[in-house]
Structure 1
Amino acid sequence: MSDNKSSVKWRISILAIFAILAAVGFLLSIMMGSVSIPAQEVLDSLMGNATGTHEKILNSIRLPRTVVGALVGMNLALSGAILQAVMKNPLADPHIIGISSGAGIAGIMVMLIFPGYEMFVTPVAFVGAMLAAVCIYILAWKNGIRPVRIILAGVAVSAFLGAGISGMMIFNSDKIHNALMWMVGGLSARSWPHVAMIWPYSLGGGILALLASRHINILQLGDEVAKGLGVRVELTRIVLTAIAALLAASAVSVVGLLGFVGLIVPHAARLIVGSDYRFLLPASALLGIGVVTICDTVARVAFAPVELPVGILMAAFGAPFFLFLLRREL
């Protein structure tokens, strides 16, 4: 009993550390850039007591960008953690297995063909993500689902959809600049309208994910045990996949195809807090916020005056990590 209490205290302590990391990442993202702003001015601005040029930079540029980055990091980390449980595959990630590409091709259709209807990007991207997930399940199913088969099917679907995105960009070359930045995944020029696009889905999807943690834990026991405990396994998988797709689609809608967050963050959290999804999901969310905001800050200031999209930095870290996991699993 005492060991269990110690384990809970340890996990709560880790959650507190991750919350501090998220807060530090958020603050650094607001403070650092082409113009450095002292922490006291940042705090004054957040409390409504600041005026002048720095206040305009904070409220018009830095703050909305940082809020979007935090919500995107949370959404992708939660989506990856859920998909890894549902697909019983530690390599599952919305970007790698093609769900982000499904959201991407649907979202870019709206952006390129109907540029005046940005409010529909997220719901259309969600439909695209779910259709991609269904295709992956169908292609991977053969007397059951096997982890490696899901990855191979996901890579194939992602490549096919990526070709479709490239084709659409060629036929809409006059609108290609925004589409190119969206393909890489970046937070440049994110503003308050983008915050308005993502926050309702982040709030709803995040709450649903946390409420589903008990069902996810039961799924980890195996299908037969889960059925014995009264869980409708296939329906639960469909609902969880829908939650993961919604979270991924909302992130893709505002920053594009930002990869590897859903792979790296849940794994790092799992190594520290374990596989109990009551703790793993909030840990992944907090760590996702810290990772994306810190990486975006580094990408923004490391090569100044040139600004790297954060997607390039995440791919530089994520690809070797994926290969390491692939070798270990196979």
Structure 2
Amino acid sequence: MASINERKAFRLSVIFILLIAVIACMIISLIWGSTPVSLAEIWRTLWADELTDTASQIIWNIRLPRNIVAALVGACLAVSGAILQAVMKNPLADPQIVGVSSGAGLAGVIVLILFPGYDYIVPLVAFLGAMGAALMVYALAWKNGVRPSRIILAGVAVAAFLGSGISALLVFYGDRVQGALLWMVGGLSARSWPQVEVLFPYAMIGLFLACLGAKRLTILSLGDETAKGLGLKVEQTRFMMTAVAALLAAGAVSIAGLIGFVGLVIPHMLRLIIGNDYAYLLPGSALLGAFVLVVSDTVGRVLMSPIEIPVGIIMAFFGAPFFLYLLRRDS
């Protein structure tokens, strides 16, 4: 009994440390930049009735909303990846690999290239694209039920198919691809309060539903036969949680573009520390995803200032080696 309580206390302490780390890195990100600001200026801006000086404008209108967007995107992608890995019982599952991000990406690129004047509907269209991709994966994988191996294979096929659609649009409309290319690379440049307002409902609803399904995901990760023996409706749970993962991924992709490795690597990093109990893994993944993306975005802003490196490139640069380490470790 003592060991169970100790393990629970350890997991809660890890989550608390991650929360403190997220807050700390967001404060550091507010300070660093082409125009450095002080903690006193940050404090004064947060409690000021009016923004009268340049530092306050930079903090309130540029860095603070961008940090919030980065944290929400990181949390959404990490939790989406953790859910998909449980649903498909495959450590390689994440929103990009199984086609969910590709569905959102194709829908978003269609709007950005063919209907550039309607970019305000990108979040809604991206969500519909992600859900459409998820339904396509399920339809292709269904044969007297859905098996995780068939889902992952169908997801890879759907991702490749949708990716070819994106490539075709970029080839046929080469004169309009600049905005779409930046969006596909994945970045947070010029993200401000309007993007926070769009993403916040997606993130809160998705994260809330994910936490509600945490116990089911833990049982599902034990295997279909064991889960059925414990009374879990496996197919229903798999479909519902895939929809939640699609919602989270679509919200993130619609705002930040196609950022890779967050949903793939972050849940693995947490499992090495706190294990596979999704009651702790999901909130921990959300916080670690937020931390990693805020740090990556800050590095992209300040590393070669005034030139900005998109956060998608930073994530690929650091995420790929860590993923290779995981492969070597498990082989």
Q: TM-score, structure 1 length as denominator?
A: 0.93
Aligned to 1:306: 307
The reply on whether 1:52 has 2:45 as its aligned counterpart is no
Relative to structure 1, is the Cα distance of residues 104 and 7 closer, same or farther in structure 2, using a 3 angstrom cutoff?
A: same
Match of 1:43 in 2: 43
AA at the equivalent of 1:259? G
Matched, 1:87 2:85: no
**Distance verdict in 2 for CA 1:323–1:136, change over 3 Å:** farther
- Per the TM alignment, residue 119 of structure 1 is displaced from its structure 2 partner at its CA by 4.2
My pick for the range that moved more, 25-34 or 316-325, is 316-325
Tell me the distance in 1 between the aligned counterparts of 2:229 and 2:118.
47
1:95 shift after superposition: 1.6
Q: Which residue of 2 aligns with 1:160?
A: 161
Q: CA offsets, 1:99-153, max 9 Å, x none?
A: 1111100122222233343443223212221232333345556786354x65554
1:1-330 equivalent positions in 2, closer than 5 A: 1-48=1-48, 51-139=52-140, 145-147=147-149, 150-326=151-327
Q: CA 1:158 to 1:321, structure 2 compared with 1: closer, same or farther past 3 Å?
A: farther
Q: Distance in 2 between matches of 1:97 and 1:323?
A: 19
Q: RMSD in angstroms over aligned alpha carbons?
A: 2.1
Q: Deviations over 1:196-219 (max 9, x none)?
A: 111110011011111111111121
| Cα contact 1:91–1:322 (8 A) shared by 2 | no
Counterpart amino acid of residue 277 in structure 2: D
Q: Secondary structure at the match of 2:26?
A: helix
Question: Which residue identity does 2:302 align to in structure 1?
Answer: V
CA contact (8 A) 2:87 2:148 kept: no
Q: Secondary structure at the match of 1:117?
A: helix
1:151-175, Cα deviation, whole Å (9 max, x unpaired): 5543443232222112223333343
> How far 1:326 sits from its partner (Å)?
4.6
SS at match of 2:237: helix
Q: Which runs of 5+ in 1 are unaligned?
A: none
Structure 2 segments unaligned to the other structure (5+ residues): none
Could you give the per-residue CA deviations for residues 295-314 of structure 1, whole angstroms, max 9, x where no partner exists? Answer: 11011111122110010011
Given that 1:91 and 1:325 are in contact with CA atoms closer than 8 Å, whether structure 2 keeps it comes out as no
Q: Is the 8 A contact 1:91 1:326 kept in 2?
A: no
Instruction: Give the drift of 1:11.
Output: 0.6
Once the two structures are overlaid, the 10-residue window that deviates more, 100-109 or 318-327, is 318-327
Segment of structure 1 superposing worse, 162-171 or 245-254: 162-171
Mapped partners of 1:98, 1:329: distance in 2: 25
- Percent sequence identity is 56
Q: Is the 8 A contact 2:218 2:277 kept in 1?
A: yes
Letter in 2 for 1:4: I
For residues 310 and 282 of structure 2, the distance between their equivalents in structure 1, rounded to whole angstroms, comes to 27
2-structure distance, mates of 1:322, 1:138: 30
CA contact (8 A) 1:45 1:51 kept: no
Q: Is the 8 A contact 2:296 2:315 kept in 1?
A: yes
Amino acid corresponding to residue 12 of structure 1 in structure 2: L
Give the Cα separation in 1 of the matches to 2:7 and 2:325.
28
